[in-house]
Amino acid sequence: MIVVIGEILIDRFPDYERIGGAPFNFAFHLKKLGFPVRFITRVGDDRNGRRIVDRLKQSGFERRDIQIDERRPTGTVRVKLDPQGVPHFDICEDVAYDYLDLDIGLPPDTGAPKMIYFGTLLQRTDAARGQVQRFLKRYGQGATRFCDINMRPPHVNAQAVIESLRQADLLKLNEDELTDIQGRLTGPQGAADFIPWLMGNFAISAVALTRGSRGSSFFSRDGQISSPASLEADVIDTVGAGDGFAAILAAGYLRRLGWDDTLARASRFAARICRIPGAIPDDNAFYDDFRSLGKGHADDR
């Protein structure tokens, strides 16, 4: 079982709206590939919240994992795209997911998670940071803890970043996030030296660094490998490309595939995400070339 904790929200583009949020995107992709996923989130008792609940139920997620906040609205983000389709986010504060209650724990029938996915946007308040960190300490000992840093200034809790690095077994971040973390710590300069230093100081097993159009690099105890970006035409926007990359990275890890193969698939999947509006495809055929990753896992609870 993969347990995903975090935000789901409405991405408001200039001409349309899409359901998004990095944890949701990650959970949705893995669910579509056939992995057993529990997605723990919180929405408001409003039109957006009802829309989200309907979409999650239609996609096969457990309704009882969706908390309803009667006081705060569902999260929303205004998304502006530059000429290259790169998004810039204006994230609303004090919304339902900021009050996700993780102290209630997992339902008894969930079983012991094999992987727990978490990020840092959910931890932008100290109260939420405490919720996430207690949850990880309670359930994370026997699970692979996948941390997707997902730093969106000014919504960055410095203490949450450090504590999340301490919790991470697998870490995914982009170059901007790497630069930010380097500025907060006293390690060496340059990714080739800093990331192994980071892994050693925080006991992180592997790090995936996404570099946009320049591909990605992967660091593990066996060394470093790199993968070029998968070249795809007709980019609409890059929203959710990193989340798609993370989902395939997790799938490859759970399937025990080689990292070269996993990175190549992740890059190809991320490039395809860039060819659709928003982060989630409407057509299930989108996943056809990747369904082999989930074979044998639908009943793996």
pLDDT of 270: 92
pLDDT digits (tens, 9 = 90+) for 252-269: 999 999 999 999 999 999
Tokens of residue 208, six digits: 């995936």
Do residues 76 and 89 touch, judged by C-beta distance below 8 A? no
Which of helix, strand or coil describes residue 301? Answer: coil
Q: Where are the domains of the chain?
A: 2-285
CATH number assigned to the domain covering 2-285: 3.40.1190.20
Amino acid in position 242: G
pLDDT of 81: 82
pLDDT of 262: 92
Mean pLDDT of 165-169: 97
Q: With bands split at pLDDT 50, 70 and 90, how would you rate the model's confidence at 301?
A: very low
Tokens of residue 230, six digits: 């998968």
pLDDT of 294: 79
pLDDT digits (tens, 9 = 90+) for 193-248: 999 999 999 999 999 999 887 888 999 988 899 888 776 557 888 889 999 999 99
Overall pTM > 0.75: yes
Mean pLDDT of 289-298: 75
Pairing of strands 223-227, 216-220: antiparallel
Mean pLDDT of 116-139: 97
| Backbone torsions φ then ψ of 243, nearest 5 degrees | -70, -40
Q: With bands split at pLDDT 50, 70 and 90, how would you rate the model's confidence at 298?
A: very low
Tokens of residue 91, six digits: 């994230």
